[in-house]
Amino acid sequence: MQPTTSPAVSHPPTTFDGRPALLDTRGRALRDLRISVTDRCNFRCTYCMPAEVFGRDYAFLPHSDVLTYEEITRLAGIALELGVRKLRVTGGEPLVRKSLPDLIAMLAGLRTTDGEGADLTLTTNGSALRPLARPLADAGLRRITVSLDSLDDATFRRMNGVDFPVSRVLEGIAAARDAGLAPIKVNMVVKRGENEDSVVPMARWARDEGLVLRFIEYMDVGTTNGWRLDDVVSAADIVAAIEADLPLEPAAPAYRGEVANRWRYRDGSGEIGVIASVTQPFCGDCTRARLSADGKLYTCLFSAFGTDLRGPIRSGAADGDLRTILERVWGARTDRYSELRTEATSHLPRVEMFAVGG
């Protein structure tokens, strides 16, 4: 009699968060796609696109190099087939691109593998939001993130580099609320010597207004902002400054891969997030890919190189070919540059944040 063999052990499919996923070499699922629709911006924030570098004669992408809305939608649709659930439209400043609600309507028509609409959101400096909030919401935008570094007009005007008044951004946020975009998140980059005095007033304001405020450590993205570690206000210092005024307790992440560390006000009046990408970099759960305005796919904000998708699209690639490129790029992904960047990548060229979207 033949010895009995034990039945084959069946391994459950490897998943990241309980759903089928395209995994990279470190087991991270592709879940988010950030889509930069333009490299242009009407602001010259000192930490992102400083006016000394991005002056009148700076050569932005020619229009013919920028993906069309049809091309973006096609790539986003393929990404959703591969398990992406969140689409974030960004830039540059996305609202400077013509007829943006048309793109939102096209993206809103796409479906995830579960047959649902994607979690469709947008990051903007808010300068043109007042007239556009309603058309964007009507087109299918669900929620929005507005970048705002201070409520103090003089500080804000200085940091945005173009003397733009804070009142106009506040009007944009009000319009977003009236249009039913929810939740409204606010991103504040904290830079030493520029706006650390604004941390507590911003926290109070956001709490009173029911906005989700996220503080971002000033990052060494790109090569043009003259980044120095001394200019970074750490997440720990940001939390301590707020805690002294408004007691906080840590809150659990809402989902695996969440970028911000969440803190809740002890009196139950709301929460803040802190993105500690300099002092506590963590790549283990990063689920984000970025599509640049000219159609390059980046798997990390700190990458030097992206994979060209515009070339294949414009030379007639079928959906299956594009899908294979995405699968190959994500499947081969090994990067954890945020954790390594101070040691290993500081000498390498880097893509600029405005080019691939924040």
Q: Which of 164, 215, 218, 265 binds ligand SAM (CB under 6 A)?
A: 218
354 binds ligand SAM (CB under 6 A): yes
Of 73, 225, 338, 345, which one interacts with ligand SAM (CB under 6 A)?
A: 225
Q: How far is the CA of 133 from the CAs of 41, 99, 121, 136, 167, in angstroms?
A: 18, 13, 12, 5, 16
Q: Does 47 bind ligand SAM (CB under 6 A)?
A: yes
Q: Which of 76, 128, 175, 221: binder of ligand SAM (CB under 6 A)?
A: 221
Q: Closest Cα partner for 146 from 231, 53, 212?
A: 212
Tell me the one-letter amino acid at 340: L
If binding is defined by CB under 6 A, does position 90 make contact with ligand SAM?
yes
Stretch that binds ligand SAM, among 87-95, 151-159, 263-271, 298-306 (CB under 6 A): 87-95
- Residue closest to ligand SAM when measured from CB atoms: 358
Closer residue to ligand SAM (CB): 74 or 214: 214
Cα gap 141→134, rounded to integer Å: 9
281, burial (CB in 10 Å: exposed 0-12, middle 13-18, buried 19+): middle
Q: What is the DSSP string of 27-68?
A: S-B--EEEEE--S--S---TTTS-TTTS-TT--PPPGGGSPP
Q: In this chain, which stretch among 105-113, 195-203, 218-226, 265-273 interacts with ligand SAM, using CB under 6 A?
A: 218-226
Q: Which one of 66, 89, 118, 189 is in contact with ligand SAM (CB under 6 A)?
A: 189
**Helices 129-139 and 100-108: crossing angle, nearest 10°?**
30
Residues 40 and 93 sit within 8 Å (Cβ to Cβ):
yes
- Hunting for tokens 């802190």 — which residue is that? 274
**Contact pick of 80, 202, 219, 259 for ligand SAM (by CB under 6 A):** 219
Q: Which residues contact ligand SAM (rule: CB under 6 A)?
A: 41, 47-48, 90-91, 93, 123-125, 147, 187, 189, 216, 218-219, 221, 225, 353-354, 357-358
